[in-house]
Amino acid sequence: MRMNDLFPLTEREEAINALHYATAIYTAAPVVDDLLDAVDWPRGNRRLVDPSCGDGIFLGRALARLLRERPKVREDELLDVLQGWELHPSAAQQSRARVAELLEDHGWEPGKARAASERMVRQADFLTAGPTGPYCHVLAGNPPYLRFTNLHQLLRAEYQAALPAYACSDLLHSFLDRCASVLMPDGEVALVTADRWLFNVGAAKLRESLGNRLGIDRLQRLDPTSAFYRPKDRRAGSPPRIHPVSVVLRPSSVAAIPLSAAPVFPDKQEQPNQKPGITLGEIAKVTLAPWLGTNGIFVVDEATAASLPAEHLVPAIDTDDIRDGRLQTPTRYAIRTTPDCPPPPAIMAHLEANMHRMAKRGLRKIPWLPPESWHKRNLNEPILLVPRIARTLRPVRVAPGLLPINHNLSIVAANRATLDEIEAMLSSKEANEWMQAHAARLESGFFSLTTTLLRQLPVQF
């Protein structure tokens, strides 16, 4: 029988357990040491705080440094310059045990070491119970990364009440915002984070707010296969599904890279406001392929197409029609309709018979229109396709008369430059290197190639 069967968990305890299980992946000692090397601590009465200390790896490595430099440090001095916060009770106990063991190894009496560790590590939520004004000279750690949609509603409501709206889409945003707000004027923030806050559009207001005081002084990408380790009760075998970086933030006046709403790319560090010159969006028309809803309604297979008027059908292509960089013969068709004229009876009957399967977001007031209209698209010219998810930037040429469908394809059409020129630019080594430096990383070596990213790609004639 489990202990929880005898003493059921409260809703708060369940929420905290769920948060811990989703985020408890700890930082390897070499990464911790590298970050601690980058900050001005220990020195004088400068205070280092880990806002989410987990099993205490940051506190332990920091404590070892402090004891080497000040072997006779008094307890009150120690507890003033080194502190940690941890919400989960078991993790807090692990952190305290690590601290107590280090102090005992340094010659402290066991009871005194345990008492000091209890005071050093607060079992509380840094976001709702921590300091709210300038308090820390150094904030160092590996805060949790978890989107608010995946938070228990109890914790989500508490954080939304305590934090600004721009910091309430991901817990990482929440910790970054709170760290900045409790930093002393000459303070530093040294964290291991997921890379997405640096360039995602949804984090623009967070970057802008942080940039009012802080800038990036150091930014390095980390290898997820070696940068972390998991608690013993977590399943091992695969690296975390994030792309981590170590980042040091310092006052804007001394930071190397200013922070603003503009994106910052870990693999190509440059001034955020630096102009890239002529971009693909200026010489070509880059659009997203239309989404036509649930398969079998506005997109049909060859057997269904044979029963419908051919003049209202257009061959349609999706990512599965691209193999080894070449377009295969289309095997599906898109039904072309217009808002001002109902389709022929055969097509209307087909739509009425299948519309009940349409995803809710795809329903239109005019029942014969697809979720995203495409009847005005020019299909008389060749175009280039760029898959939304790919390992390399590899455009695929599409002949006239074919309709790319679904949001996992970007359409590049000629404008100021010829299609041959655009294809050569997109196929170049320089374009691929730029993409890999600026695109969001996914799993297994894939990148997210959004239309926004493609429009920003610098081009040369």
Q: Which residue bears the tokens 């002949």?
A: 399
| Highest mean pLDDT, choosing among 251-255, 267-271, 346-350, 445-449 | 346-350
The pLDDT value given to residue 123: 98
* Tokens at 193, concatenated: 């984070």
Reply yes or no on whether the pLDDT at 264 is more than 70: yes
The pLDDT of residue 166 is 97
pLDDT band for position 240 (cuts 50, 70, 90): low
Q: pLDDT band for 239, please (50, 70, 90 cuts).
A: very low
- Which pLDDT value is given to residue 80? 98
Helix pair angle (204-211, 171-181), 10° resolution: 10
Q: Higher model confidence: residue 9 or residue 340?
A: 340
Tokens of 296: 């079998």
What pLDDT is recorded for position 270? 58
The pLDDT score that the predictor gives to residue 190 is 98
- Cis status, amide bond into 42, omega within 30 of 0: yes
Q: Say what the pLDDT of residue 232 is.
A: 47
- Please calculate the CA angle 233-89-83 and round it to the nearest 5 degrees: 115
Determine contact, residues 257/272, Cβ cutoff 8 Å: yes
Q: Please report the sign of the dihedral spanned by the C-alpha atoms of residue 27, residue 30, residue 35, residue 40.
A: positive
The predicted pLDDT at position 265 comes to 87
Q: Full-prediction pTM beyond 0.85?
A: no
- Rounded to the nearest 5°, which phi and psi values hold at 355? -65, -25
Residues of the chain with pLDDT > 70: what percent? Answer: 94
3-state helix, strand, coil in the chain (%, to 5): 40, 20, 40
Work out the average pLDDT over 138-143: 97
pLDDT > 50? residue 73: yes
**Cβ atoms of 65 and 98 closer than 8 Å:** no
* Residue 118 structure tokens: 């209890």
Torsion angle defined by CA atoms of residues 128, 134, 137 and 143, in that order, rounded to the nearest 10 degrees: 20
Convert the pLDDT of each residue in 376-432 to its tens digit: 999 999 999 999 989 999 999 999 999 999 988 788 888 878 899 999 999 999 999
Query: Which pLDDT does position 238 carry in this prediction?
Result: 46
Quick one: average pLDDT of 60-73? Answer: 96
- Is the per-residue pLDDT at 328 higher than 50? yes
Q: What pLDDT digit, counting tens, does each position of 302-325 carry?
A: 999 999 999 999 999 999 999 888
Percentage of the chain modeled with pLDDT above 90:
75
List strand residue ranges (DSSP E) for 302-408, in order. Answer: 313-317, 322-323, 326-327, 332-335, 383-387, 389-390, 396-398, 403-404
| pLDDT attached to residue 349 | 96
The stretch 348-360 carries a mean pLDDT of 95
Confidence band, pLDDT 50/70/90 cuts, at residue 268: confident
Mean pLDDT of the residues in the chain: 91
Distance between CA atoms of residues 8 and 5, nearest Å: 6
Q: Which domains does the chain have, with CATH numbers?
A: 3-258 (3.40.50.150), 280-456 (3.90.220.20)
